[in-house]
Structure 1
Amino acid sequence: MKRHRFKQDRALGERLIEEARLAREKSGQLPAGTAEREELLKKAREADITAHIDEWLTSPGLQPPKWGAE
Protein backbone atom coordinates (compact mmCIF):
# COMPACT_ATOMS: atom_id res chain seq x y z
CA MET A 1 0.00 0.00 0.00
CA LYS A 2 1.44 3.34 -1.07
CA ARG A 3 1.43 6.29 1.33
CA HIS A 4 0.08 9.60 0.14
CA ARG A 5 2.75 12.21 0.77
CA PHE A 6 2.62 15.91 0.23
CA LYS A 7 4.99 18.80 0.76
CA GLN A 8 4.04 21.42 3.31
CA ASP A 9 3.78 24.92 1.87
CA ARG A 10 4.55 26.63 5.21
CA ALA A 11 7.00 25.94 8.00
CA LEU A 12 5.81 24.09 11.10
CA GLY A 13 6.21 27.18 13.29
CA GLU A 14 4.03 29.26 10.97
CA ARG A 15 1.29 26.62 10.96
CA LEU A 16 1.40 26.36 14.76
CA ILE A 17 1.16 30.14 15.23
CA GLU A 18 -1.83 30.23 12.88
CA GLU A 19 -3.46 27.36 14.79
CA ALA A 20 -2.97 29.25 18.07
CA ARG A 21 -4.46 32.44 16.59
CA LEU A 22 -7.54 30.62 15.32
CA ALA A 23 -8.06 28.85 18.65
CA ARG A 24 -7.89 32.19 20.49
CA GLU A 25 -10.39 33.74 18.04
CA LYS A 26 -12.83 30.88 18.58
CA SER A 27 -12.39 31.00 22.35
CA GLY A 28 -13.17 34.73 22.33
CA GLN A 29 -16.63 33.95 20.96
CA LEU A 30 -17.48 31.62 23.84
CA PRO A 31 -18.59 32.56 27.36
CA ALA A 32 -15.88 32.65 30.01
CA GLY A 33 -15.44 29.56 32.14
CA THR A 34 -16.86 27.02 29.69
CA ALA A 35 -14.99 23.78 29.17
CA GLU A 36 -14.84 24.32 25.40
CA ARG A 37 -13.28 27.77 25.81
CA GLU A 38 -10.71 26.46 28.29
CA GLU A 39 -9.82 23.62 25.91
CA LEU A 40 -9.31 26.08 23.03
CA LEU A 41 -7.09 28.30 25.20
CA LYS A 42 -5.08 25.25 26.25
CA LYS A 43 -4.67 24.26 22.60
CA ALA A 44 -3.48 27.80 21.77
CA ARG A 45 -0.90 27.76 24.59
CA GLU A 46 0.38 24.34 23.52
CA ALA A 47 0.70 25.48 19.90
CA ASP A 48 2.64 28.59 21.01
CA ILE A 49 5.01 26.52 23.15
CA THR A 50 5.55 24.00 20.35
CA ALA A 51 6.26 26.83 17.89
CA HIS A 52 8.88 28.27 20.25
CA ILE A 53 10.50 24.86 20.70
CA ASP A 54 10.57 24.38 16.92
CA GLU A 55 12.14 27.83 16.51
CA TRP A 56 14.79 26.97 19.10
CA LEU A 57 15.56 23.59 17.53
CA THR A 58 15.93 25.01 14.04
CA SER A 59 17.91 28.11 15.06
CA PRO A 60 21.42 28.35 13.60
CA GLY A 61 22.88 29.03 17.06
CA LEU A 62 21.90 25.62 18.40
CA GLN A 63 24.99 23.49 18.78
CA PRO A 64 25.16 19.71 19.15
CA PRO A 65 26.41 18.39 22.48
CA LYS A 66 30.17 17.99 22.73
CA TRP A 67 31.10 14.43 23.71
CA GLY A 68 34.49 12.99 24.48
CA ALA A 69 37.71 14.53 25.70
CA GLU A 70 38.14 18.22 25.01
Structure 2
Amino acid sequence: MTAKRNRRKNSVPFDERLQRAADEARAAAEQLPQGEARDALLKKARQAETAAHLNEWLTSPGLQSPR
Protein backbone atom coordinates (compact mmCIF):
# COMPACT_ATOMS: atom_id res chain seq x y z
CA MET A 1 0.00 0.00 0.00
CA THR A 2 1.42 3.39 -0.92
CA ALA A 3 1.22 6.41 1.31
CA LYS A 4 -0.67 9.43 0.09
CA ARG A 5 1.41 12.60 -0.36
CA ASN A 6 0.50 15.80 1.40
CA ARG A 7 -0.19 18.19 -1.48
CA ARG A 8 -1.24 21.33 0.33
CA LYS A 9 0.04 24.68 -0.90
CA ASN A 10 2.24 26.72 1.38
CA SER A 11 0.96 30.21 2.08
CA VAL A 12 4.48 31.57 2.62
CA PRO A 13 7.00 31.39 -0.24
CA PHE A 14 9.99 29.07 0.12
CA ASP A 15 12.61 31.85 0.25
CA GLU A 16 10.70 33.65 3.01
CA ARG A 17 10.44 30.42 5.05
CA LEU A 18 14.20 29.88 4.66
CA GLN A 19 14.96 33.45 5.73
CA ARG A 20 12.62 33.14 8.71
CA ALA A 21 14.33 29.90 9.78
CA ALA A 22 17.73 31.59 9.51
CA ASP A 23 16.57 34.60 11.54
CA GLU A 24 15.03 32.40 14.24
CA ALA A 25 18.15 30.23 14.52
CA ARG A 26 20.40 33.30 14.73
CA ALA A 27 18.18 34.89 17.39
CA ALA A 28 18.18 31.69 19.44
CA ALA A 29 21.97 31.44 19.12
CA GLU A 30 22.36 34.97 20.51
CA GLN A 31 20.66 33.83 23.72
CA LEU A 32 23.12 30.98 24.30
CA PRO A 33 26.65 31.10 25.70
CA GLN A 34 29.60 30.01 23.58
CA GLY A 35 29.47 26.29 22.96
CA GLU A 36 28.34 23.46 20.72
CA ALA A 37 24.63 24.32 20.88
CA ARG A 38 25.28 27.90 19.78
CA ASP A 39 27.61 26.76 16.99
CA ALA A 40 24.98 24.30 15.75
CA LEU A 41 22.33 27.04 15.59
CA LEU A 42 24.69 29.40 13.75
CA LYS A 43 25.50 26.61 11.29
CA LYS A 44 21.78 26.02 10.73
CA ALA A 45 21.30 29.76 10.08
CA ARG A 46 24.17 29.82 7.54
CA GLN A 47 22.79 26.76 5.77
CA ALA A 48 19.32 28.31 5.51
CA GLU A 49 20.78 31.54 4.11
CA THR A 50 22.86 29.59 1.60
CA ALA A 51 19.80 27.61 0.53
CA ALA A 52 17.87 30.87 0.06
CA HIS A 53 20.66 32.26 -2.13
CA LEU A 54 20.80 29.08 -4.20
CA ASN A 55 17.03 29.11 -4.62
CA GLU A 56 17.17 32.75 -5.72
CA TRP A 57 19.89 31.93 -8.23
CA LEU A 58 18.07 28.89 -9.60
CA THR A 59 14.76 30.70 -10.00
CA SER A 60 16.23 33.88 -11.51
CA PRO A 61 15.03 34.78 -15.00
CA GLY A 62 18.62 35.13 -16.24
CA LEU A 63 19.35 31.43 -15.73
CA GLN A 64 19.35 29.61 -19.05
CA SER A 65 19.27 25.92 -19.76
CA PRO A 66 22.39 24.26 -21.21
CA ARG A 67 22.46 23.89 -24.98
- TM-score, with normalisation over the residues of structure 2? 0.90
Partner of 1:42: 43
Gaps of 5+ in 2: none
List per-residue Cα deviations over 1:16-68 (Å, max 9, x = no partner). Answer: 00000000000000002x111000000000000000000000001101011xx
- Structure 1 residue aligned with 2:11: 9
Q: Which has the larger radius of gyration?
A: 1
3-state SS of paired residue (1:56):
helix
Gaps of 5+ in 1: none
Give the count of matched residue pairs. 65
1:36 and 1:15 mapped to 2: Cα distance?
A: 22
Amino-acid identity (%): 51
Provide the TM-score with structure 1 as the length reference: 0.86
Alignment-derived partner of residue 56 in structure 2: 55
CA distance in 2 between partners of 1:3 and 1:45 (Å): 30
